[in-house]
Structure 1
Amino acid sequence: MKSKLKIAFLLSIITERGGIGRVTSIISNELNNHPDFDIHIISYARKKENSYDWNNKLPYHYLLEEQIPMKKGIITASKKLKNILSTNNIDILISSGAIVGPLGVLGTVFNKTKLIYWSHSSFKGTSKKQFRMFNEHFTALFAKCIVSLTKTDEVNYAKETRAKKVVQIYNPIDSKLENNDKEYSSTSKKIVSVGRLTAQKNFETLIDVAAIVLSEHKDFTWDIYGSGEEEDLLQKKIKTNNLIGKVNLMGQSSNLYELYNEYALMVMTSKYEGFPMSLIEGLASNLPLVSFDIPTGPNEIIHEGTNGFLIEPFDVADMAKKISILINDEDLRISFSKKNPKLINEFNLSTITKKWITLLNKL
């Protein structure tokens, strides 16, 4: 009888509220349902609460009790990681995200565990961040394989790092959204955006766009779901622009999937993305999509003029114009909405899981 492959996912913290936590919980759960794999979850710091639907039956390991900067904790954490990998006979470690890339290297060097680096951000988007780029290049040098989220970054990693192998695998649509049978709300007067309230998501620029759009369409409002360090800054800018009650910071929501149906369209203003899960969720929820055409992510989800609009980064006036076009043209919004189901198959959970299974078995 063939022995099971023991696979461990390493991430910075299980309670992470961004896309890394969300997609790791989805993929780890799917692989755990496969008869060939035993799945473990390893977290740099101990979780305090769950943000996503993590499988409680999986074994969880914690390297540190408290979350301290990686530069301070990496040596202690790497020693404990080595012990966990050895004790549990882990065959493959998947480092999820650049911050735990070098930790994965230190944990697997000189032992039998093979390392996969699962990139969760845009390679070009991080090119101005020296520490992060060191992580990317260092991890690429030692990993058996890099998994990139987009076709664009598959090329970038192959050309610009010393990666031995690069495989592109999209993040999947959550199975809860795959068979969305809710009708598009064409009469909705609300716009939605989703993401951590950080500089990367560029919600300051979103407020500039909203100031134009909502001055022209006074019956519309704009809701932003997420939490983060820029909450106070954004709230002040909302107030300065007289948008209180028009642009709303909604905080975290545990039932976003149920709420998407209340909206007319989804907008993303990020400076860079690995692969934007919010746009995938908007696609699965049949929302017309509008995004800046940043280097990786949006242009592999949005087909210009088919299910949404791609805007030159960071053209506030043009984004406001395109959103107004959609607001004014209900038939166009309905047309965009109807095209989304035909574009979902590439991001189907079953399709993505098969690609992971193939990769893991090859290694």
Structure 2
Amino acid sequence: MKKIALVIPSLSSGGAERVISVLANEWSKMNGYEVHLFILTNLPDVYQLEKNIFVHRIGFKAKKNNRLLKLYMMVKSMLLFRREISRISPDFILGFLSHVNFFIILSLLFKSNRVFVSERNSPNLNKSIFFEWIRKFFYSFSTGIIVQSKTFKNFLEYNGYNAKIKVIPNPIQKLESINYSDTREKYILNVGRLVDQKDHRRLIDIFNLVVDRQKGWKLVIVGDGPLRKELLEYTKLLGLSNEVIFKGECKKIEDFYNTSQIFAFTSKYEGFPNALAEAMSCGLPCVSFDCVTGPSELISSSYNGFLVPEKDNELFAERLLQLMFSYDLRLKLSSNSSKISSELDSSKIAKEYLNFCIENSK
């Protein structure tokens, strides 16, 4: 029986949390594997786990404004984690997110455990030189690094990371999808938190360029966040309150994927664009900026969507108009984009993770 240990801050809402729960659940269904999940904080769970997964809650509860208590709890958590890993003796350990990876490696200093680390965001985020040096130092103790894109792999190799590096995209959740048809609502859909990274303000500007050229279309934004009030005011300022619809958070997101005609993606950067991948898997024709990282590894322009150079609002608007005018073009892109679902199937991605970790743990 092979034993696997996974480590994550929490199972609250988030991309890394979703992916690690998918991996844990998929591996727990395989014969010959015992899955242990370590959760480092006491935040409430959002994602569900299979009953045969062993869950270890370290329970870090220190308040952010009490540095001494926070340090004490951190050291206590590291010692508890080290003791539990020694007791379980897993064949390998997989951590998600930089600070968690640092926690694992520090906790297991001078031990021979096989530790794999996974980076979950864009390499172009404004990290300090000091952070980059720290990450490179810590990751030199890892057995392997898993990233979501070729861009991140190239970044690590260029900067001299000496561990084995593997590119594995995110699995997409299985969504109920219906055949694409012209009877759908004339919706241009976007799904994402209302934060600066997703650049909804630019999306609204682009929609403003096309709204008067093809009547009846609406921009539907699904998601919530700190910029909601600001975006609502901006929409009102442009006179688009009736044409731009903010739906807030939605638990059954496939309802929007299955009733919309087009998906528009304007993020400034991504680790892996989950919403774009989900939209494509449901057969939505998509227009996306070629941001760092992810869209270029999903979209082959004019085949299964349109990829637009960053900040080229006019070309983005032109691509939207092409789709708004032509149902035949939308149908063609829809047919090709839906093929992504088999490539990003959760069981397939889970096996890729497992094979890489097992092969390099021998």
Q: 1:192 to 1:244 in 2, by over 3 A?
A: same
Separation in structure 2 between the aligned mates of residue 163 and residue 97 of structure 1, nearest angstrom: 19
Instruction: Judge conservation of contact 1:77–1:103 (CA < 8 Å) in 2.
Output: no
Question: Aligned-pair distance for 1:109?
Answer: 2.1
Write the deviation string for residues 281-317 of structure 1: whole angstroms up to 9, x where unpaired.
Answer: 1111000111110132101111100111111112222
Unaligned runs of 5+ in 2: none
Match of 1:265 in 2: 262
Q: Which residue of 1 aligns with 2:19?
A: 23
Cα 1:67–1:236 change in 2 (3 A) is: farther
Helix, strand or coil at the partner of 1:63: strand
Output aligned runs, 1:335-354, within 5 Å.
Answer: 335-354=332-351
Indicate how the Cα distance of structure 1 residues 324 and 118 shifts in structure 2: closer, same or farther if over 3 A, else same: same
AA in 1 matched with 2:191: V
Q: What is the letter of the counterpart of residue 33 of structure 1?
A: K
Question: Larger deviation: 93-102 or 78-87?
Answer: 78-87
- The answer as to whether partners of 1:43 and 1:61 remain within 8 angstroms in 2 is yes
Which residue of 1 is the match for residue 139 of structure 2?
140
Structure 2 length-normalised TM: 0.88
Partner residue in 2 for 1:42: 38
Number of residue-to-residue matches in the alignment: 354
Alpha-carbon displacement from aligned partner over 1:59-101 (angstroms, at most 9, x marks no partner): 2223335475598454443233223323333332211122322
Matched with 1:164 is 163
Q: Which stretch shows the higher mean deviation, 254-263 or 306-315?
A: 254-263
The answer to whether the 8 A contact 1:108-1:115 is kept is: no
Aligned equivalent of 2:54: 59
Matched, 1:192 2:189: yes
Distance 1:116 1:44, change over 3 A: same
Distance in 1 (CA, whole Å) between partners of 2:45 and 2:351 is 30
Residue 111 of structure 2 corresponds to which residue in structure 1?
111
Bigger drift between 56-65 and 93-102 goes to 56-65
Q: 2:199 and 2:48 mapped to 1: Cα distance?
A: 27
Question: How far apart in 2 are the matches of 1:130 and 1:13?
Answer: 28
Pick closer, same or farther for the CA change 1:170–1:330 going to 2, 3 Å: same
Letter in 2 for 1:89: S
Q: Given the superposition, is the C-alpha separation of residues 206 and 54 from structure 1 closer, same or farther in structure 2, using an over 3 Å criterion?
A: farther
Which of these residues, 235, 252, 255, is aligned with residue 252 of structure 2?
Answer: 255
Does residue 355 (structure 1) correspond to residue 346 (structure 2)? The answer is no
Instruction: Specify the alignment match of 1:151 in structure 2.
Output: 150
Aligned twin of 2:120:
120
- Residue 301 and residue 94 in structure 1: after superposition, are their counterparts in 2 closer, same or farther (change >3 A)? same
Instruction: Report the equivalent of 1:6.
Output: 3
Cα deviation 1:92-130 (Å, max 9, x = unaligned): 22111223221122122222432111111122x225455
Change (3 A) 1:58 1:258: farther
User: Once the 2 structures are TM-superposed, how far is the Cα of residue 194 of structure 1 from its aligned partner?
Assistant: 1.5
| Cα 1:252–1:57 shift into 2, 3 Å | farther
Cα deviation, residue 131, structure 1: 7.0
> Judging changes above 3 Å, is the alpha-carbon distance between structure 1 residues 69 and 195 closer, same or farther for their aligned structure 2 residues?
farther
Contact 1:269–1:292 (Cα < 8 Å) also in 2: yes
Mind listing any 5+ residue stretches in structure 1 that lack a counterpart?
A: none
Instruction: Pick closer, same or farther for the CA change 1:49–1:170 going to 2, 3 Å.
Output: closer
| 2:56 maps to amino acid | H
Would the aligned equivalents of 2:177 and 2:258 in 1 still touch at CA under 8 Å? no
1:326 partner letter: L
Contact 1:14 1:46 in 2 (8 A): no
**SS in structure 2 at match of 1:216:** coil
The question of 1:279 aligning with 2:276 is answered yes
Residue number among 297, 322, 326 corresponding to 1:325 in the alignment: 322
> C-alpha displacement at 1:245, in angstroms?
3.6
User: How far apart are the structure 1 equivalents of 2:26 and 2:82?
Assistant: 25
The 2-side partners of 1:217 and 1:77 are apart by 58
| Larger CA Rg, structure 1 vs 2 | 2
Q: 2:266·2:289 contact (CA, 8 Å) conserved in 1?
A: yes
Pairwise CA distance, 1:185: 3.5
Give yes or no for contact 1:18–1:195 (8 Å, CA) kept in 2. no
